[in-house]
Amino acid sequence: MKPAPFAYAKAKSLDHAIELLAHPDGEARLLAGGQSLIATLNMRLSAPKLLIDLNGVEELSGIAVNNGMVEIGALTRHVEAERSDEIAEHAPLIALAMPHIGHAAIRNRGTLGGSIAFADPAAELPACLVALGGEVEIAGPRGRRTVKADDFFMGLFETALDPGDVLTAIRIPAATPGTRVGFAEFARRHGDYAMVGLAASAQLDGQELGDVRLAYFGVGNTPVRATKSETALVEGKIDDAVAALNLDPSDDVQATGAVKKHLAGVLLRRVAAQLMETSR
Ligand SMILES: Cc1cc2nc3c(=O)[nH]c(=O)nc-3n(C[C@H](O)[C@H](O)[C@H](O)COP(=O)(O)OP(=O)(O)OC[C@H]3O[C@@H](n4cnc5c(N)ncnc54)[C@H](O)[C@@H]3O)c2cc1C
133-151 pLDDT per residue, tens: 999 999 999 999 999 999 9
Ligand 1 neighbour 33 (Cβ under 6 A): yes
pTM score of the predicted model: 0.96
What is the rounded average pLDDT for all residues in the chain? 95
Is 209:148 a contact under the CB 8 Å cutoff?
Answer: no
The answer to whether the CB of 217 is under 6 A from ligand 1 is: no
Spatial contact of 76 and 96, defined as CB atoms under 8 Å apart: no
pLDDT of residue 256: 95
Stretch 14-38: mean pLDDT = 92
pLDDT tens figures, 223-276: 999 999 999 999 999 999 999 998 999 999 889 999 999 999 999 999 999 998
- Is pLDDT of 278 > 70? no
Residue 50: pLDDT band by 50, 70, 90 thresholds?
Answer: very high
Pocket test for ligand 1, best of 49, 60, 77, 101 (most atoms within 8 A of CB): 101
Mutate to test the pocket of ligand 1, among 14, 16, 30, 189 (most ligand atoms within 8 A of CB): 30
Query: Would you say the CB of residue 222 lies under 6 angstroms from ligand 1?
Result: no
Look at 18-27, 56-65, 259-268 and tell me which has the smallest mean pLDDT: 18-27
pLDDT band at residue 279 under the 50/70/90 scheme: very low
Amino acid making up residue 273: A
| Atom 40, ligand 1: residue with shortest CA distance | 167
Question: CA quadruple 64, 70, 73, 77: dihedral positive or negative?
Answer: positive
Residue nearest to atom 46 of ligand 1 (CA): 30
Beta-carbon contacts of 19 under 8 Å, excluding residues fewer than 6 positions away, are none
Q: Is 98 in the pocket of ligand 1 (CB under 6 A)?
A: no
| Nearest 10 degrees: Cα torsion 209, 215, 219, 220 | 140
Residues 63-111 have pLDDT tens digits of: 999 999 999 999 999 999 999 999 999 999 999 999 999 999 999 999 9
Q: What is the pLDDT of residue 23?
A: 77
Strand ranges across the sheet with 50-53: 7-10, 50-53, 28-31
Gap between the Cα atoms of 30 and 22, Å rounded = 12
140 C-alpha vs ligand 1 centroid, how far in Å?
20
Contacts 24+ apart (CB under 8 A), 105-110: 106/35, 106/78, 106/191, 107/77, 107/78, 107/79, 107/82, 108/77, 108/78, 108/79, 109/33, 109/34, 109/35, 109/77, 110/32, 110/33, 110/35, 110/36, 110/77, 110/78
Between helices 227-234 and 257-276, what is the axis angle to 10°? 30
